Structure 1
Amino acid sequence: MSIELIIILLTIGYIIFTIDKKKDDFPVPAILVVLGVGLAFIPYFDSARLTENTIYHVFLPALLFVSAYQFPIKDFRKSASIIVSLATVGIVLNVLILGYLISIISPIGLLEASIAAAILTPTDPVSVVSIIKKATGNEEIASIVEGESMLNDGTSIVLFTTLLSMATREKGFSFFSFSGEFLLVSIGGVLIGLAAGFLVSKIVHYSHDRNYQIMLSIILAYGSFLIAEAVGVSGVLATVASGMMISYEYGRAEKEDHFRKSLDGFWEIAEHSLLAILFLVIGIEMTEYLKLDYWLYAAIIFVFMIFVRFITIYGITKVVHSLSWRYNFLLSWAGLKGSMSVFLVLTLFAKSASGIQSEWIVGVSFTVILLSLTIQSLTIAPISRSLLK
């Protein structure tokens, strides 16, 4: 993309975020995606394209870092059992059940359907978290939604990669092999992130200028990600762990407040700027795949997706920490699809694997993502108020 195009996209994002003054019921990402779909019909925006590498290596580290850094550690401790269970066991169950249901109503086999399910499983609540807080005042539910979304990306990538390798016959499936790889990738990523975050929290004291401290946080966000990816573990979880570690270290003493204020100011601007560009381009990117042939499949799969997420959450919370059906339904409805799902779709498209009906999966997945971003985000406020007030 040219610098001129980036500035135009940022300007559009600025206008939308400015309209959203009270941050109550206005789902900015959904509005941006719909605007992006409209911009796709203007020839000037033809060059506004995303690749899977751009999303994964440019957008995700920054967005994950700021979410993790701003996520209260006390909230994670309070709901850790639910968050971790939903982000691991919950993701696996979602993929298995949703994949089976997709295979029943679609022209693709069970393995391909499971790949589609893996694409549509990671959550990306973005502004929905703030809407839930404003609409209900319930911090616990908002924290669970946000915490799960930070951690389930790593699980989704491992599942997607494993299923795609099986479908292309690069390797067969072994439960023990999958479990071992998952644990290695996950734990390795977390350890690298914790170590990097702890190291930076000590080094930052040698940088008395706040501008240099912000530079160091950028190095941490992307450096932890790249180091983890280089050694073959989860860069996503490394970035999340580094953000949470530095937040924890800064929260241990009041003298660290000036560090946090400096970082808050920069990362909030960076987050909004990246979100504006990302969701506008997602709308532009998906438009050519929104064919009429896919809409019925997408509508049915969207319903399946909500249903499967609800029964999975209901089952897990019954075992881990019992919640009312109202809480379970709100958690289910708040599980929007977004940047990680788009990354996985583009990864599948880029590989163009033989023997896989990639075009059908890509088209239907993009349509489901659009339905999720618009329907769920536009209705989350009234549903939150009616269920919890």
Structure 2
Amino acid sequence: MHMESLPYLILLFIGYLVYTLDHHKEDLPVPSILVIIGIFLSFIPFFSGVAITADILYEIFLPALLFTGAYQFSPARLKKYAAGITILGTAGLAATIFLSGWAIYLIMQPFAAVPLLAAFLIAAILTPTDPVSVMQILSQDLNDELVTTIVEGESLLNDGTSVVAFAFLFSWYTGSTPGMMEGTVQFAVVSGGGILVGLAGGWLFSRAVHVTHERYYQIMLSIVVAYTVFYTAEFVQVSGVLAVVFAGLVLSSTFSRSAKERHFREALDGFWKVVEVSFLSILFLMIGIAASSYLFHEYWLLAAAIFVVLLALRTAVVSTCSAVLPPIESINWKEQLLISISGVKGVVSVYLILKLESLASAEMDILLSISFSAVILSLLLQSIAIHPAAIKLKKRNQPRTL
């Protein structure tokens, strides 16, 4: 009897237990608990064969997770706060990578002669945000749709743009891209092409879903669309991440137009929610298992310093971006702080770290250890800080709703 799948079944059961038994998710979110459990599981020989690779994470887990987050995103809130989401997910992302890259480079020089381009690679890894760890807390603790919308919307956008940015920094680091100008043009083509593929795929699905009224067949079609859009974009060498995000956003807009379309959303919600929770359970446990081998090193103070500095820089970028927002999206300093703290690192950061494993060197081992350590610090410390920060903000501000 083949037992290779048994560890993964046990991981899923552990996820079920954690989600079921954790009645105080606001104090320590489930993803953080799962990562900690995963680290401990890495010392049990039975789980030695459990491994997550960059390709598995990117090609199997990410399309489903991004599709679910995008199609459930409110089109009304997206339209209302489009400026803040767009600015933070594009210009804000670029500024954060630039400032963080220089900061990482300067901080690491006394300890290791890390090239500037390598520091920018680490900055690109630690820039994307993952709201899965904090959105439930924000929704429960804070009746402020501006904050929750920007945190969630920014993550959807910067997941895609950060992957594209990392890909070009990676190619420059390995010497496979001729120059900055050509790389910049290719960046625009890859990003824009991914968006176009996603828009086209979402539009086709919104038409094809009317062919049948059986919800089971509609769910089957949604699986096909989520992955087909992703793989089509990758095949034509544009961003699969942005493609699946924008396909989901098109569906979100389509499903909000009438009662009939909302019925489609209800049918899909049940299935994709199960997929999301199941994937996240296995994934965060596997992240803990994968990270464990990189967490025993002598650079923890350096990793902590980088984590603190990058959080401060994110706060500064959020504050600067908020200064150019329209009045309806005006963000006070307390909300800026909460948005900054809510920028927890997660799945996309881990995928980018795993991409670096192909560059085996002593220098890269240091960078991998520091990157994994910073992600773990973010998952634990920032997640724990969300609940008290949100409660304090709620007491001092009137709720903002539609």
TM-score interval w.r.t. the shorter chain? over 0.9
CA distance in 1, matches of 2:24, 2:119: 41
Q: CA deviation at 1:155?
A: 1.5
Partner of 2:122: 116
Q: Pick the aligned partner of 1:63 from 65, 73, 85.
A: 65
Q: Pick the aligned partner of 1:42 from 30, 41, 44.
A: 44
Change (3 A) 1:273 1:93: same
Partner of 2:399: none
The residue type paired with residue 331 of structure 2 is L
Say whether residues 1:204 and 2:204 are aligned partners: no
Query: Is this contact kept in 2: 1:118–1:159, CA < 8 A?
Result: yes
Q: Pick the aligned partner of 1:375 from 362, 378, 381.
A: 381
Q: CA deviation at 1:47?
A: 1.0
Task: Describe how 1:268-283 pairs up with structure 2 within 5 A.
Answer: 268-283=273-288
CA distance in 2, matches of 1:193, 1:131: 30
Partner of 2:234: 229
Q: CA deviation at 1:66?
A: 0.3
Q: CA deviation at 1:312?
A: 0.7
Change (3 A) 1:318 1:163: same
Partner of 2:400: none
CA offsets 1:290-331 (integer angstroms, 9 cap, x no match): 023121111000001100101111111111244211111111
The residue type paired with residue 383 of structure 2 is S
Partner of 1:219: 224
Q: Pick the aligned partner of 1:329 from 330, 334, 337.
A: 337
Say whether residues 1:96 and 2:102 are aligned partners: no
Query: Is this contact kept in 2: 1:348–1:358, CA < 8 A?
Result: yes
Q: CA deviation at 1:22?
A: 6.9
Say whether residues 1:348 and 2:366 are aligned partners: no
The residue type paired with residue 339 of structure 1 is V
CA distance in 1, matches of 2:127, 2:170: 15
Q: CA deviation at 1:191?
A: 1.2
Partner of 2:252: 247
The residue type paired with residue 89 of structure 1 is A
Query: Is this contact kept in 2: 1:112–1:357, CA < 8 A?
Result: no
CA distance in 2, matches of 1:133, 1:208: 33
Q: CA deviation at 1:72?
A: 0.3
The residue type paired with residue 272 of structure 2 is W
The residue type paired with residue 132 of structure 2 is V
Task: Describe how 1:126-137 pairs up with structure 2 within 5 A.
Answer: 126-137=132-143
Say whether residues 1:291 and 2:296 are aligned partners: yes
Say whether residues 1:304 and 2:309 are aligned partners: yes
Q: Matched residue pairs, number?
A: 386
CA distance in 2, matches of 1:179, 1:167: 15
The residue type paired with residue 344 of structure 1 is L
Helix, strand or coil at the partner of 2:357: helix
Query: Is this contact kept in 2: 1:141–1:327, CA < 8 A?
Result: yes
For normalisation by structure 2, the TM-score amounts to: 0.93
CA distance in 2, matches of 1:282, 1:169: 30
Change (3 A) 1:298 1:22: closer
Q: CA deviation at 1:337?
A: 0.6
Percent identity between the aligned chains?
45
Change (3 A) 1:105 1:26: closer
CA distance in 2, matches of 1:293, 1:373: 20
CA distance in 1, matches of 2:197, 2:335: 34
CA distance in 1, matches of 2:364, 2:26: 38
Query: Is this contact kept in 2: 1:66–1:267, CA < 8 A?
Result: yes
Say whether residues 1:169 and 2:175 are aligned partners: yes
The residue type paired with residue 265 of structure 1 is G
Task: Describe how 1:129-208 pairs up with structure 2 within 5 A.
Answer: 129-174=135-180, 176-208=181-213
CA distance in 2, matches of 1:118, 1:301: 13
Query: Is this contact kept in 2: 1:326–1:388, CA < 8 A?
Result: no
Structure 1: where are the runs of 5+ without partners? Answer: none
CA distance in 2, matches of 1:216, 1:40: 37
Helix, strand or coil at the partner of 2:331: coil
Structure 2: where are the runs of 5+ without partners? Answer: 396-402
The residue type paired with residue 111 of structure 1 is L
Q: CA deviation at 1:178?
A: 3.3
Q: CA deviation at 1:258?
A: 2.4
